[in-house]
Amino acid sequence: MASFSELSASSVESVLLHGDLHQGNILSAEREPWLAIDPKGVVGEPICETGPLLLNKLPPRLDSAQTRRLLARRVDQLAEELGVDRDRLRAWGVIRAVMSAFWSLEDHGRGWERTLVCAKLLESRTPSVA
């Protein structure tokens, strides 16, 4: 699995990103159909924003076959729709999971273990469902 340094160095395109784009920060709005709130304003490869789409709203039992299938399906769907490499998308997912674990530890002192399990599942090269 690629490291943050390797992914960043091999990035073809760096753009301004939201930095905290997840379901809780996307609202139905009047001026536009959808509005992303609470941006962090970071620069990076667009694919790194997909982490929360992989990791959020997973079943309670992460050690289940259902969770592994769901993660594989999300990787496949996002990679296909965005036209990106599945391994690269998974690698960014692992990095975002580890970052999320640190944020949970920093903010709450708990909840980080679950996110690290997600990182391990993504890193384990869950087979494609395609």
Q: Could you list the active site residues?
A: 20
DSSP-assigned letter for residue 32:
S
Phi, psi of 71 (to 5 degrees): -65, -45
**Amino acid identity at 22:** H
**How far is residue 57's CA from residue 53's CA, in Å, rounded to a whole number?**
8
**Amino acid identity at 52:** P
Residue closest to 54 by CA, chosen among 36, 45, 67, 63: 67
CB 38 within 8 A of CB 25: yes
